[in-house]
Structure 1
Amino acid sequence: MKAVYDEIADWYEEQFSPLPGLPRQLVEMLGKGTGVCLEIGCGTGAHAAAVQALGWTPIGVDLSTGMLGYAMDRLPVMRADAEHLPFPSDSLPAVLSVMVHTDMPDYPSVLREVRRVLQPGGVFVHIGVHPCFCGHFADRSDPDNIVIGGGYRDGSWTKRSWTDQGVRNRVGAAHWPMHQLLNAFTDVGFTVERFGEGDEATPVTFSVRARK
């Protein structure tokens, strides 16, 4: 199966920049620890060094061989579907998801699978685009005056975007309104511990720390 990110892997590696506030949220939400931290949708492995700096041993899974071609120089990786993780139940102390939930049409199924592979008491950290301020309904062409239009409640998948310089217009993205996203965590049995947002006046990112 050819993953959509295969076509943009070179562009992503060479031109895509981390969003402000994302590194801080990763440190605050994941925290220091030991043992394996699995990143689902690891892409090019851009977050591996930050995870390792916290004491964890990063490993990654992704569907895109193009992205994994870059990631394999940064952490151990395998090609796998996040809805069918190649790990035993109750086997991992930590799982990380960074800027990928909009790439996963059935994110609740991914969360269910993440909870399966986590050890009892294991931690899951989600960092993704902010449900309220990012999407085809949010025009961010003027960072100081974000314009929110119709479409927030659609729960739709689209390539429509305010910019032609990002990921959404290239591969598309699913949108999860805030209530659907948070309910997905509790519906599969996670205990939600903490929330975070990006550093912008109108945050680009939203994060969750949950525990099995």
Structure 2
Amino acid sequence: MAPTAAYDEIADWYEHEFLGAQRTGRPRDGNPLDLNDVLSHLLGEGSGTCLEIGCGTGVHAAQVRALGWTPIGVDLSAGMLRRTRGRLPVAQADAEHLPIPDASLPAVVAMMVHTDMPAYPAVLREVARVLRPGGVFVHVGVHPCFCGGFADRSDLDAVVIHPGYLDSHWTKASWTDQGVRAKVGATHRPLPELMHAFLSAGLTLERFSESGEPTPVVLAIKARKHTEV
């Protein structure tokens, strides 16, 4: 998979059509996500720099700023980053190799990007490296139990889970051809594998949240870097 090229190719569609549908409350996948509420609930008010990994076009920066943080972002896709003008300072960088010193940040967030990152466990290790002791990390991602190539969400009142959840894999299979996944694909990890990646990175799981009705679309996790003794 080449996420940089994939998102370069769909940057205009993502900014104007996909995000436009989210803003109007009529998302193309049929389910509003309430991402700002989830982010506010888990990140909370604070101060200092908050890094968003895989920031895309920077649409979450305003919410981070409203909470008192100073947002900055990194992303692989030059096409997406060209649309961040005025939203936040950015750098084109690989989340597996962040251009940031050790133990330098009080907060990091990842918003709906972990399925775009085949090496997400390595990304979590980088998050732990750049966080200060006691620093907070908020992961907001598609729910591994109810979203993926194995999940048919064409009837939101009765999501059908087909075989495939237990297998870690990358796929472009999707119940809809109107969403991001049908265009760029996604890497799936079962819930235990995802949680173990946090623990292996040295992050302490602190709080959790789900959103989407009647079956969750989003699983969000608040974690913290171990405090040095």
What is the TM-score with the length of structure 2 in the denominator?
A: 0.90
Aligned twin of 1:131: 144
1:10 to partner: Cα distance: 0.2
> Which amino acid counterpart does residue 159 of structure 2 have in structure 1?
I
Say what the alpha-carbon RMSD is for the aligned residues: 1.1
Q: Report the Cα distance in structure 2 between the residues aligned to 1:83 and 1:136, rounded to whole angstroms.
A: 25
Equivalent positions of 1:188-207 (< 5 A) are: 188-207=201-220
1:21 to partner: Cα distance: 2.5
1:199 to partner: Cα distance: 3.4
Matched pairs, number: 212
Q: Report the Cα distance in structure 2 between the residues aligned to 1:185 and 1:67, rounded to whole angstroms.
A: 27
Secondary structure, in 3 states, of the residue corresponding to 1:16?
helix
* 2:180 matches 1:167: yes
1:72 to partner: Cα distance: 2.9
1:3 to partner: Cα distance: 2.8
Q: Find the partner of 1:7 among 3, 9, 14.
A: 9
1:186 to partner: Cα distance: 0.6
Query: Residues 76-133 of structure 1: CA distance to partner in whole angstroms, max 9, x if unpaired?
Result: 0010000000000000000000000000001000000010000111000000000000
Query: Residues 117-154 of structure 1: CA distance to partner in whole angstroms, max 9, x if unpaired?
Result: 00111000000000000000000111111111010011
Q: Which runs of 5+ in 2 are unaligned?
A: 23-31
Aligned twin of 2:126: 113
> Runs of 4 or more off by more than 4 Å in structure 1?
none
Q: Find the partner of 1:176 among 174, 183, 189.
A: 189
Equivalent positions of 1:8-47 (< 5 A) are: 8-17=10-19, 18=22, 19-47=32-60
Aligned twin of 1:100: 113
> Which amino acid counterpart does residue 96 of structure 1 have in structure 2?
V
Q: Report the Cα distance in structure 2 between the residues aligned to 1:81 and 1:121, rounded to whole angstroms.
A: 24
Q: Report the Cα distance in structure 2 between the residues aligned to 1:185 and 1:170, rounded to whole angstroms.
A: 28
1:23 to partner: Cα distance: 1.4
Q: Which runs of 5+ in 1 are unaligned?
A: none
Q: Report the Cα distance in structure 2 between the residues aligned to 1:16 and 1:93, rounded to whole angstroms.
A: 31
Q: Find the partner of 1:71 among 74, 84, 87.
A: 84
Aligned twin of 2:25: none
Query: Residues 149-197 of structure 1: CA distance to partner in whole angstroms, max 9, x if unpaired?
Result: 0100111100011000011110110001000001110111111100110
Q: Find the partner of 2:221 among 203, 208, 211.
A: 208
Secondary structure, in 3 states, of the residue corresponding to 2:158?
coil
What is the TM-score with the length of structure 1 in the denominator?
A: 0.98
Q: Report the Cα distance in structure 2 between the residues aligned to 1:28 and 1:16, rounded to whole angstroms.
A: 24
Q: Report the Cα distance in structure 2 between the residues aligned to 1:172 and 1:110, rounded to whole angstroms.
A: 19
